[in-house]
Structure 1
Amino acid sequence: MMIKKGLWLGIATGVILGAVLWLVEAVTGEEVYTLLMNIDFIPVLGDIAWPVWMEWVFHLLLSWAIAIVYLAWIAFQTEGETSARWATSLLLSVLAALTYFPLTDLAIKETPPLDDVTAIIYWFIAHLIYAVALVKLDEWSE
């Protein structure tokens, strides 16, 4: 049951994160959505011109993993207390947001610079929205 819920939760939150970053990029020109979908630095995988739907699959794989880890931690370690849900969600989302720096550094295609404060703020706000969505959709689905 946890895996099934984690897949659903990962899809929903992953779509929210992707949509927020897509909107930010569309409105501001900051290439944060491009960064989210970029895998050009991964050997072999990065050499293939993937269709957009497959880039989304790669993104959702990570979101599924985060959602399943979140649910597992809540179920097995904290008995589901609200404060633990928020702390776990925020911790996982901050860790995911910190990928801005290695992803930007490793990217071959054009992505925001490492020191682009505006892009970093957008990236972290989007991941904060992801954290909120993770908790709220988890609570809603109970």
Structure 2
Amino acid sequence: MKQKWILHGIGAGIISGMLLGAFLWAVEEQSGHSVYTLLMNVDYIPVVNAFTYPAPVEFLFHLIVSVILATVLLWLVRRMRMLGNRVIVWLVTVNTLIGALIWPVTSLSDRTPAPGDWASFAWWLAGHALYGAVLGWLLQEKD
């Protein structure tokens, strides 16, 4: 099957997304910083925000985004012919940047951390760096 790499991206997205969710859930449970709530937040998405979803559905939304992102990033990794540890470094950087770019949506909800909550921001970035590291490890091809 020529498109086998897509299944690789889907699997990597599910595993990485589940780990990110578990990490941010644990941080929120232990510290009180609402970083898992932010991960599950859909308050800023028109139409979708008109409904209240059960926790498993919110997590499914997160995993769908993770699978799409992982598959696109795998396509880019393959296209750029990145090998080995370069993939991990690149994906940690890209995903930490994505986390930083998403952070401003905290101002669109009263359930998420305040934009100036630097401790929550640090946890949020750490989670996205972890996501990138795991995704990179799962997506890397050996030299």
CA displacement at 1:139 relative to structure 2: 4.1
Q: What is residue 97 of structure 2 aligned with on the other side?
A: 95
Q: Residue deviations 1:23-67, cap 9 Å, x none? A: 000000000000000001211100101111111111112111221
- CA distance in 2 between counterparts of 1:14 and 1:24 reads 15
Is it true that 1:38 corresponds to 2:41 in the alignment? yes
Q: How does 1:20-99 map to 2 (within 5 A)?
A: 20-78=23-81, 80-99=82-101
Q: What is residue 126 of structure 2 aligned with on the other side?
A: 125
Count of aligned positions:
138
- CA distance in 2 between counterparts of 1:106 and 1:94 reads 21
CA displacement at 1:100 relative to structure 2: 4.0
Q: What is residue 106 of structure 1 aligned with on the other side?
A: 108
- CA distance in 1 between counterparts of 2:103 and 2:127 reads 15
Q: Residue deviations 1:100-121, cap 9 Å, x none? A: 43220222x4211101110011
What amino acid maps onto 2:60 in structure 1?
V
- CA distance in 2 between counterparts of 1:101 and 1:17 reads 15
- CA distance in 1 between counterparts of 2:88 and 2:134 reads 10
Q: What is residue 115 of structure 1 aligned with on the other side?
A: 116
- Give structure 2 stretches of 5+ with no counterpart: none
Question: Normalization by structure 2: what TM-score?
Answer: 0.88
| Percent of paired sites with the same residue | 33
SS in 1 for 2:80: helix
CA RMSD of aligned residues (A): 1.7
Question: Normalization by structure 1: what TM-score?
Answer: 0.88
Q: Is the 8 A contact 1:93 1:131 kept in 2?
A: yes
4+ long deviations beyond 2 Å? 99-102, 137-140
- Give structure 1 stretches of 5+ with no counterpart: none
Q: What is residue 10 of structure 1 aligned with on the other side?
A: 13
